[in-house]
Amino acid sequence: MDVQALIDELEQGADDAAIEIAAATLAERTVGPATVAGLLEHAVPAVRRAATLALGQRRDSGALELLRAQLGDSHAPVRAAAVQALASLGDAQALEDVLGLLNDRMAAVRLAAAQAARAFPSAAGIEALERTLARESSLDVKVAAGSSVAAVGEASPELGLLALGCLARLVGREREAELVHPTAQAVAALAQGLPHGTLVEVLRSVPISGRAALAEALSALEGLSRPLQRVTRELQALPPDEELLARFGSNLTRRALDLPRCYGRDEEVFSVLRQLDRAGPRAVVLVGPAGVGKSAIVHALARQLAAEATLVPRVVHEVTTGEVLSGTRYLGEWQTRLKELQGALSAPHRAVWYLPDLNRLVDAGTTAHSDESFATMLRPAIERGELAIVGESTPEAFRHGLDRFPGFRKLFWKLELQEPDAQETLEILEAVTQDLLAEHRRRGVELEAPRAALELAVELADDYISGLARPGCAISLVREALGDLAEDEQQAGRRVLDGSRLLHTISRQSGVPVALLDDSVQLDLREVHTFFDERVLGQAEVVEAMVDLIGRIKAGLTDPARPLGVFFFVGPTGVGKTEMAKTVAEYIFGSPERLVRIDLGEFKEPDAHRRLVGDPLAAEPSMRSGLLTAPVRERPFSVVLLDEVEKAHRNVFDLLLPLMAEGRLTDERGRVTDFRHTIVIMTSNLGSDLREDNAIGFGFTPAHDKIQRVMEEVFRPEFLNRIGKTILFSPLSVEVMRRLTRREVRRVLSRRGIRRRSVIVELDDSLVGALVRDGFSARYGARPLKRRVEEVVLNPLARALLKTRADGPQTIVRLGVQQGRPAWELILERKDDPDDDDALAVSRPTARLKDPQGRRVSLEDLREQIEQLHERVAAMETSIHERDLRGRKSELLAASTAPDLWDDPARAGRILSEIHQLEVQLEVPRRLAKRMTSLDGLLERVERRSQETALLHDLLVRLDDVSRDVEFSDYALRCSSPHERGDAYLLLRLVGSSEFPKDAIALMAQMYRRYWRSKGQRARVVYEGVSHQGVLREAAILLEGTCAYGLFRGEHGLHQWVHRSGENQRQKEVCFVRVTPLYPAAEPLRTSEVTQEVRALRDAEGVLLKRPRAHLVLTHTPTSVALEGHTDGSEEAKDWARALLAARVARAHDRLETLDPGVIRRYVSGRNPVAREFASNLKLPLERVLEGELDEFILPRVFRGRRAGEPPAPSQDPSTTSG
C-alpha cells in the first residue's frame, strides 16, 4: 500500500487493528527510515503510534533515541506504543526508560511498561515491578507485572529467588483470585527443586500478615514439592506478640547468644527438641538437683531454636508463676493475665514457655475459697498440644508438687538429669572456663586457668560449695575465682588461677578461714583453744569439744552427708551457751553474725513447725519463706542456734530429724535447704533444777546420766540418736565471774564517747568485787551483769567525762567504791611542756663518791669523805638510843614469854614480827661499824703506797659501796612505825589497753627487783597475769627486807610511759603501782571466807616466772577482793598470795585509794630516753633507771616525809596492846 494512502486512512480514523497493519507496512524496508522518522511528529496520534510501533520492528540506527523521544508524547497510546517498541528492540539501555513509565498516570501506559519489563531481565526490573505491585490499583497492570516477574524468574535462574520472594509477597498481600491464583502457580513453579532452607530464607521476607494468605493459596495447588509443602505449613505459624509478652518475664531467644553455653548435655537437648516437635502434649519437665544443668539445657534450647531454619523461629520465653500473679489483687485478675499469656504463647504462635517454678502450677492461684489454679486453666491447651512448656524442678519439689496430681502430671514428659562424675565434670569445667577466659579477654584482662587448678576446683566445690550439684558447683567456684583474679590490681604480670586463689574465694564466700581450708597450712590447736578460752570462760569441756570439732573440720573427717556438727548444750541460764555459739560462728565462719538463732520456746503449737520451713498459705509474706530455711539458704555456712529446744512441739522435733541425719530440710514447696555446712547447736535448761544448793551456781555439776535421763523423758530415741554430742555447761566460778566482769567492763569502755576523748579508765578492784557480787544471780547467771555494769560503771563515768574535753589533756578516770557506793576521780595530765622531757637528764648529788673521768683523787678528800661516814654511823647509834629501840625490844621479848601469848595468834604474830624488825635495825650500826673499820684499814694502805693506782681504785669502789650502804641504812632507820619497817607487796597493773610497743609492766617489775636486790634484799614474784599476746598486764612482787614499805610507799600511784617514734608521734600507756604493807593481820582470814581455785598449766610461757605451773585465784567472799594470776605452783607461792590477800582485805575498809595527785613518774622511750619524777622534777637516763638505779628517786622521800598522796597507814596498827 502507498504510504500516503495509509496515512490518509489513519487520519480519517482507525482502530488498533488498522494501526497495527499500518505499523507493519511502515516496518517494511521499502519505506525509508527518514519517512518513518518524519511520521513520528505527525499531527494525528494514530499516525505517530503506527510509526512508533514500526520503529521497534525496523531496528534502524538511531531508533533507540527516536523511541525515547516518543516516551514523552502527550497521547497515552503513543507512549504505550513507544514502550512496546523499546521492548521489541531489547536494548538494555532502554530499561530505565521502560521502568520509568511504570509510574505513568495512564493505566494503559503502565500496563505496557509492566508487560515490556520482562524483556529486560534484571534485579532492578523485578524491584521496580514489586514497587509497582505494591501501589498499583489496576488489576490488569498487577497481573501483567506479576506475569513479567514470573517470566523473568523462569528465564534467569540467578533472578529466580528474587522473583520468588516478590511473587510470594504479592500473594500474601493481594486478595483478587485473578491475580492470586496465577501468581501462586508461579511461586510453586519457581520453588520447584529448591531445598527447604533456601525457601525459608526467601519466604522469611513475607510479612507475618500475609503468610496465612500465601499458605492458603499454595495449599490450593497440587503437585507442590515436599520442601514447599513444609514451608506452607510453617507459613501458618505466628511469632508471639512481643508487646504483650514484654509485660511478662524475659525473652531468652533474643539474648540467646549472650547466654552461657551448655556442654556435655547434647543428648538431653536433642531429646527435649524432639519432644517439643511431636504431636500431642508438648510439655517437658527437667528434674534434677540445683546445679546439675537444667537451666543450661534450656539456654542451649534457646540457642538452637534461635538458629532454627524455619520461617518463624520458636521463641523461648521465661515467665514464672510469680510474675503472672504480680500485682493481682482482685477476683479474676490473675485469670485474665494468664489467659493473655496463654494466648500469646499458644499455637499458631511459635513459642516455648520456660517455667523455672513449674511445680507451682498446681497451687498458684489457689485460695482458701477456690481450688482453681494455673494447672486447671492450662490443662486443656497442654492436652491439645497448643501450648509448649519446658519447666524444671528438683526431685523433692517434683514430689511435693507435680507428682501429687497424677492427671496433670501425665501430660509432662519427665527427663531426669543425673550428676556427671568427676571426670565428666572436669571436661565440662574446662570448656566453660575457656568461655570465661574469652569473656575476660574481651574486657582486656588476660587470665590463665591450668588444668591442675580446675581439678582442684572440682574437689573443693564438692566439699565447700553448698546447694549446688556438679558441675554447677565447680563452675560457680571457678567463675568467682576468675572474677576475683581479674579485679586483683596487685596481681602483676601473668594472672594465673591457682589453688590459693580458689581457697581464698571459698573463704570469702563461706567465711571459713583459709587456715581451715588449706591442707598446706598447719593448724595449731593450742591457738584455737586460746581463742575459745578468751571468749568463753570457765567451760573447759565445751571448749575442748569445739576444738575437737575444728580439728575434724581441718582434717576433713566430718561426715559429708550430715551437718558439720550437732550439739546439745545443757546448763543453767547465763553460763555462756549463746556466747559459745557466737564464738564458733566467729572462728569457723568468720563472723558472729553468721548465727541463725531461733527460740523454739515460741513453737509450742502443733502447726508451728511450718513457720520454720515456710508456710505458702501464710498471710504474712515473711512467714512464707521459712524462719529457719531462708537464712540458711542465704548463708549456708552458719551456726544454727536452736534455743530452749525442749519447749517446742513434737512436730518440731520430727521436722529436725532429716536436718540432723541428712543435712537437708525440704519445705512444703519441695525446696531443699542444705544444712551440711552448718553447725547445729541446741540449748536447753534441762537439769538446771538438779543443783544441790541455791548459790549462784557454785559447785553445781549435774551428772551426765541424770541429764540423759531427763532428756529421755522429753525426746524420742530417734531424736537423741541424731545428736552428735551432749555437753554440760558448768556453773560460773568466782574466777570466771571476775574475768567476765573485767571483760564486760572493757567492752563498755571501748565505746565511742571514751575513744574520742584522751581518757584512760582505771578500775579499782573494789569496783570489780562489787560487780561480781551484784552482777550474777542464781537464776539468771551472768545475765544481770550488763545491766549492773551500765549502772555502776557507765553512769559515774558519764558524769566524769562531762568534766573533760575531747581536745583536752589526757585524763585518767579512776573508778571504785566508796562507802558502798560507786565513786570516781579525775586525774589530769600535768600541764608541763612535753618537750621538757628532752632536757638533759642530770643526777642529784648523793653520798656516792665516783670520778666519772677517772682522774686521781686527793687523800685529803678521801679522809674527809670517810670521816663524814663515821659521823653518820655514830648518829645512827644516837638515834637508836634516843628512840629507846632496845627498851622497846626488851618489852616485846618479855611479852613474847607470856604464857597466854598464843591465845591471840594475831597479837603474837605482831609481837614476833616487830621483834624481828627491831633486831634488824639494832644490828645496822654494828654492821656498818665493821665495814668502816675495814675501810679505814684500806685507807691506811693507800697512804703508805699512794702511787699504786689499783689500790686507789679499790678504795674508791669500796668507798662508793659503803657510802650507798650508809645512806640506805640511814634512810631505813627513819622508818618509825612497825608497818613502815616491814615487808611490802608491789602490785603492778596495766591501766590502758593500747598496743604499746614496750612491755611496761615487765620493765618496771624488773626495775624494782634489781633495785631491791642491789640492797641485799629479796624480791619474790608472787604471781603474774600474762595476756594472750605474751604481755604482762599485772604482777605482784613481795619485797622482803629492812623498811621495804617505808621506802617503796612513795612509788604508790600512776606511772606513765611515753614512746616517741618520730616528730610529734607519741604512744602512751599508764601503769598503776599499788604498795601494800605486809604485817600479821588483826584477825586471820577465815578459811570458809576464802575460795581457792587452782588450775594446772601445761607448757605455759612466763615473763617474770621462768616456768609458771598453775593459775591461782583467791577470793575473799565477803568483800569480793580477789587475786588472780600464774604462779610457780609451789605452796610457798600460795602462802604469799594468801598473805597479800589478807593485807588487801585489811585495807578494804580504808578510804578508796583515789587520792593520788597524779602521775608519779614518766618513762620516755624511743628518741631521747629519760625518766622524770614530777614531785622533784628530777630527770635520769632511762637506761640507768631500768637497771635499778632508783636511789635518787626513792631515798630523798624519807627526808621530805610522807607525800600527800601516799597511802595511809593501816586502820589498825599492829602493836602489843590487846583489842
What is the DSSP code string of 447-487? EE--HHHHHHHHHHHHHH-TT--TTHHHHHHHHHHHHHHHH
C-alpha cell at 382: 497442654
Q: Are 1120 and 773 in contact (CB under 8 A)?
A: yes
Contact partners, residue 920, CB within 8 Å, separation at least 6 = 981, 1042
Q: Are 681 and 642 in contact (CB under 8 A)?
A: yes
- Per-residue pLDDT tens over the stretch 904-916: 776 777 777 777 7
C-alpha cell at 470: 556438679
Averaged pLDDT score across all residues of the chain: 84
Distance between CA 564 and CA 787 in Å, rounded? 36
Average pLDDT score over residue span 657-683: 90
For domain 859-973, say whether CATH 1.20.58.410 is its number. yes
Strand segments, DSSP code E, in 644-721 are 664-666, 672-674, 679-684
The architecture in CATH of the region 3-235 reads Alpha Horseshoe (1.25)
Residue 1204, pLDDT score: 32
Residues in the chain: 1219
Distance between CA 806 and CA 802 in Å, rounded? 10
- Per-residue pLDDT tens over the stretch 134-169: 999 999 999 999 999 999 999 888 999 999 999 999
Lowest average pLDDT, out of 98-107, 194-203, 1204-1213, goes to 1204-1213
Query: 3-state DSSP call for residue 240?
Result: coil
The architecture in CATH of the region 980-1200 reads 2-Layer Sandwich (3.30)
Lowest average pLDDT, out of 217-231, 297-311, 980-994, goes to 980-994
Strands 447-448 and 495-496: parallel
Residue 167, pLDDT score: 93
Distance between CA 431 and CA 423 in Å, rounded? 13
CA 733 remoteness from chain centre: 36
Contact partners, residue 778, CB within 8 Å, separation at least 6 = 694, 695, 696, 697
Distance between CA 507 and CA 489 in Å, rounded? 19
On the question of a cis peptide bond just before residue 406, with omega within 30 degrees of 0, the verdict is: no
Distance between CA 75 and CA 51 in Å, rounded? 14
For domain 422-510, say whether CATH 1.10.8.60 is its number. yes
Q: CATH code for 735-829?
A: 1.10.8.60
CB atoms within 10 A of CB 1085: 17
Alpha helices in 974-1043 (DSSP H): 978-981, 1000-1014
Residue 1007, pLDDT score: 96
CA 403 remoteness from chain centre: 39
What is the greatest pairwise CA distance in the chain?
Answer: 188
Confidence check: pLDDT of 1192 > 90? no
The architecture in CATH of the region 242-416 reads 3-Layer(aba) Sandwich (3.40)
Surface-to-core class of residue 557, CB atoms within 10 Å of its CB (0-12 exposed, 13-18 middle, 19+ buried): exposed
Considering the chain, what percentage of its residues have pLDDT values greater than 70? 88
On the question of a cis peptide bond just before residue 717, with omega within 30 degrees of 0, the verdict is: no
Same fold, 242-416 and 525-731: yes
Strand segments, DSSP code E, in 953-1062 are 984-990, 1018-1026, 1032-1040, 1053-1062
Residue with the three cell numbers 663518791 = 849
1166-1173 long-range CB contacts below 8 Å, 24 or more apart?
Answer: 1166/1059, 1166/1060, 1166/1061, 1167/1060, 1167/1061, 1167/1062, 1168/837, 1168/838, 1168/1060, 1170/837, 1170/838, 1170/841, 1171/841, 1172/836, 1172/837, 1172/841
Confidence check: pLDDT of 832 > 60? no
Contact partners, residue 649, CB within 8 Å, separation at least 6 = 603, 604, 605, 606, 608, 609
Task: Report which of residues 264 and 1080 the model is more confident about.
Answer: 264
Residue 692 banded pLDDT, cuts 50, 70, 90: very low
Confidence check: pLDDT of 889 > 60? yes
- Give the start-to-end residue ranges of the domains of the chain: 3-235, 242-416, 422-510, 525-731, 735-829, 859-973, 980-1200
Q: Which fold has domain 525-731?
A: Rossmann fold (3.40.50)
Query: 3-state DSSP call for residue 541?
Result: helix
pTM here is 0.66
